[in-house]
Amino acid sequence: MTEACHSQWQYNFAFLDENTKRMLRRALLKAVAIPGYQVPFGSREMPLPYGWGTGGIQLTASIIGQDDVLKVIDQGADDTTNAVNIRRFFARVTGVSTTSSTAAASLIQSRHRIPETPLQPGQIMVFQVPEPEALRTLEASEVETRKLHAHQEYGLMHVKLYEDIARFGHIATSYDYPVMVNDRYLSSPSPIPKFDNPKLHMSPALMLFGAGREKRLYAIPPHTRVESLAFEDHPFSVQRWEQACALCGSHDSYLDEIITDDAGARMFVCSDTDYCQQQQEGKA
Amino acid sequence: MSQPVLSVSGLTKDYGNGQGCFDIDFELYEGEVLCIVGESGSGKSTLLTTLAGRLSADAGSVRFRDRAGSSHELTTLAEAERRRLARSEWGFVTQHARDGLRMNVSAGANVSERLMALGQRHYGQLRETAAQWLEKVEISRERLDDRPTAFSGGMQQRLQIARNLVTQPRLVFMDEPTGGLDVSVQARFLDLLRRLVHDTGIAVIMVTHDLGVARLLAQRTLVMQQGRVVEAGLTDQILDDPQHPYSQLLVSSILQA
């Protein structure tokens, strides 16, 4: 894999050097072996700032091969700034083919969404995670949160959900909704809407999570139990809309509200652009 | 007589500079309040934190008998087991309520936290239990959703008591719980505490520098000076007839009512 890519600057395949990729793959193996456990890794400086997806890019770089087909999503869309730039970056430093089709992709990097089209066995999702520690807002000390994970003391997470209900009457956490992976480790599913949480449960695809600034990665292997936390009398539920998508008419996808003029007119459209397009083509 | 909840023998924690606590022996039974009095730096808090397993002991043994009747040697207990006991069988009330409370979540969440840690997952029941405990510590039910930052010092301290007693622990450690309270609030707080101890039958080890607190609450008292117990016995006995010169000094320093 050491052959030079097509770039005029002669970067190594997928930008990172081979030793770094090996280090990342070792960490990934451990992460897959212990579902939901946060594995530390030596995060490298990337040619874009922290917060723009450096964790996800490093994971993608460490596992991408020449035969892979890459899809990058930002806010569900394939044509937003971050998605376009990361896709172009990998096209340049690896030469692999890219796609916007979920079904055609073997590797999907994402921050905010899991595609509506069901994932298939063999596909890999890579998430860009800003804060891998679900307990962080409640417990500032890393030493303490690691102990809480080690001793499986997760009462604290329910304190947050309790507080939500006490204040808003329902669990108001709508994204980055905490999950229990394989009945053992409490994990942050990255800032996906809780609408996407059920897609993590028993997914046939491998889910990898990378946080560049926090230098942690973790994984949800295929066919792993993923349970969203809740109370017995306030069970987990996902968002629902009264409208259908204004473009494709879908009733069961995650909708974005878009303001269309200064008078406050608005429309609801699918957040997943690829799915929306397929639905439109299917009708036509 | 029943078995002691806690039996301590030869307990030593040496900081290496002459500070610490040395060769402590006592036994504590259910429903009993034991006060540890002494001046600042006499090793009271060191003793308390060592007993609670937050500091590792250098010598001696601390045996704790849990609800099920099995005995644990606390000085060599694995951390996982110690944390389990701390969650389910012990409480720890700190001098400053903000060290023992979560200041950024509501009173209800504070009281429910230990229940949730033990696996209770029914919001309605948690809330009802929390409200009952607030009333037990004389805080109105309406304050359930207020944050402790909106509470007075005395209320915060009572909230801390509720948060610790909600799981009905067998043993509660208290480190100068009346330290920051003014005299009238302190009196009501001690009254409440005495009632709760009486009703629930918990054992309490309380560190204080105030013999008045010991007189109101404790059946037995240890007097500490320079890391050693200089006098131990029934509180009334120590107050009426102190034997050691230091105890005599302490007793004579109480204002006669």
In a domain, B196, yes or no: no
* Beta strands in B74-191, from DSSP E residues, in sequence order: 90-93, 171-175
Determine the residue of chain B that is closest to A167 in CA distance: B145
In a domain, B22, yes or no: no
Question: In this structure, what DSSP letter does residue A233 have?
Answer: T
DSSP bridge partners of B72: B64
Query: At B122, is the pLDDT very low, low, confident or very high (cuts 50, 70, 90)?
Result: very high
Going edge to edge, which strands form the sheet with B228-234? B90-93, B171-175, B203-208, B33-38, B220-225, B228-234
Q: What are phi and psi of B39, to 5 degrees?
A: -80, 175
* Nearest one of B223, B149, B147, B158 to B186, comparing CA atoms: B158
Cross-chain Cβ contact A151/B117 below 8 Å: no
pTM: 0.86
Cross-chain Cβ contact B121/A232 below 8 Å: yes
Residues 6+ apart with CB under 8 A from A137: A160
In a domain, B172, yes or no: no
How far from chain centre, in Å, is Cα A74?
10
Domain count, chain B: 1
Of A147, A166, A231, the CB nearest to B145: A166
In a domain, B155, yes or no: yes
Establish how many alpha carbons lie within 13 A of residue A58's alpha carbon, considering only the half-sphere containing its beta carbon: 35
Query: At B256, is the pLDDT very low, low, confident or very high (cuts 50, 70, 90)?
Result: low
- Condensed to tens digits (0 to 9), the pLDDT of residues A9-45 reads 678 999 999 999 999 999 999 999 999 999 999 999 9
- ipTM of the complex, rounded to two decimals: 0.85
The alpha carbon of residue B145 is apart from the nearest alpha carbon of chain A, in Å, by 6
**Over the range B15-42, which residues count as b (16 or more CB within 10 Å of their CB) and which as e?**
eeeeebbbebebebbebbbbbbbbeeeb
Q: What is the 3-state secondary structure (H, E, C) of A104-128?
A: CCCEEEECCCCCCCCCCCCCEEEEE
pLDDT greater than 50 at residue B224: yes
Query: At B184, is the pLDDT very low, low, confident or very high (cuts 50, 70, 90)?
Result: confident
In a domain, B112, yes or no: yes
CA-CA distance, B75 to A24, in Å (whole number)? Answer: 41
**Is A17's Cβ below 8 Å from some Cβ in B?**
no
Chain A residues touching residue B108 (CB < 8 angstroms): 162, 166
Q: What is the pLDDT of residue B54?
A: 85
**DSSP element (H, E) containing A93:** helix A81-94
* Nearest one of A102, B196, A16 to A1, comparing CA atoms: A16
Of A151, A160, A162, the CB nearest to B123: A162
Q: What angle do CA A147, A155, A207 make, to 5 degrees?
A: 70
Residue B199 burial (10 A CB sphere; 0-12, 13-18, 19+): exposed
Helices B153-165 and B183-200: angle between axes, nearest 10 degrees: 10
Longest dimension (CA), chain B: 56
Q: What is the pLDDT of residue A2?
A: 47
Q: What is the pLDDT of residue A283?
A: 78
Side chain identity at residue A214, one-letter code: E
Chain B residues touching residue A153 (CB < 8 angstroms): 83, 87, 117
Helix (H, G, I), strand (E, B) or coil at B13: strand
- Structure tokens belonging to residue A249: 């008419």
In a domain, B205, yes or no: no
Q: What is the pLDDT of residue B1?
A: 53
Q: What is the pLDDT of residue A9?
A: 60
Q: Whose structure tokens read 């520098």?
A: B209
Chain B residues touching residue A159 (CB < 8 angstroms): 102, 105, 109, 112-113, 116
Q: What is the pLDDT of residue B255?
A: 59
Chain A residues touching residue B80 (CB < 8 angstroms): 150-151
DSSP bridge partners of A217: A39, A210
Question: What does the pLDDT average to over B120-132?
Answer: 94
Which of B116, B142, B147, B149 has the most A C-beta neighbours within 10 Å, making it the best mutation to test the interface with A? B116
B222 and B35 in contact (C-beta within 8 Å)? yes
Cross-chain Cβ contact B102/A159 below 8 Å: yes
Q: What angle do CA A160, A161, A167 make, to 5 degrees?
A: 90
- Condensed to tens digits (0 to 9), the pLDDT of residues B18-65 reads 889 999 999 999 889 999 998 888 889 899 999 988 888 999 999 999
A75 and A270 in contact (C-beta within 8 Å)? no
| Structural domain span for residue B145 | 101-167
**Is A158's Cβ below 8 Å from some Cβ in B?**
yes
Side chain identity at residue B185, one-letter code: V
Residues 6+ apart with CB under 8 A from A8: none
**Pairing between β-strand A266-270 and β-strand A255-259 as defined by DSSP bridges:** antiparallel
Helices B79-88 and A142-150: angle between axes, nearest 10 degrees: 90
How many residue pairs from chains A and B have C-beta atoms closer than 8 A?
Answer: 60
How far from chain centre, in Å, is Cα A169?
28
Low-confidence stretches of chain A (pLDDT beneath 70):
1-9
Q: Whose structure tokens read 């083509």?
A: A281
Q: What is the pLDDT of residue A6?
A: 52
In a domain, B85, yes or no: no
| DSSP output for A175-216 | BS--EEETTTEEE---S-BGGGHHHHTT-SSEEEEEETTTTE
Q: What is the pLDDT of residue A10?
A: 76
Q: What angle do CA B227, B33, B198 make, to 5 degrees?
A: 170
Q: What is the pLDDT of residue A7?
A: 47
In a domain, B61, yes or no: no
Chain A residues touching residue B113 (CB < 8 angstroms): 155-156, 159
- Report the phi/psi class of residue A249: left, alpha or beta, with left for phi > 0 and alpha for psi in -120 to 50: left
How far from chain centre, in Å, is Cα B89?
13
Chain B residues bordering chain A (beta-carbon distance below 8 Å): 79-80, 83-84, 87, 102, 105-106, 108-109, 112-118, 121-124, 126-127, 144-145
Side chain identity at residue A222, one-letter code: P
Of A154, A162, A230, the CB nearest to B112: A162
CA-CA distance, B167 to B173, in Å (whole number)? Answer: 14
Residues 6+ apart with CB under 8 A from B200: B165, B168
Which of B121, B122, B125, B127 has the most A C-beta neighbours within 10 Å, making it the best mutation to test the interface with A? B121
Residues of A with catalytic function: 36, 245, 248, 270, 276
Question: In this structure, what DSSP letter does residue B26 have?
Answer: E
Cross-chain Cβ contact A159/B105 below 8 Å: yes
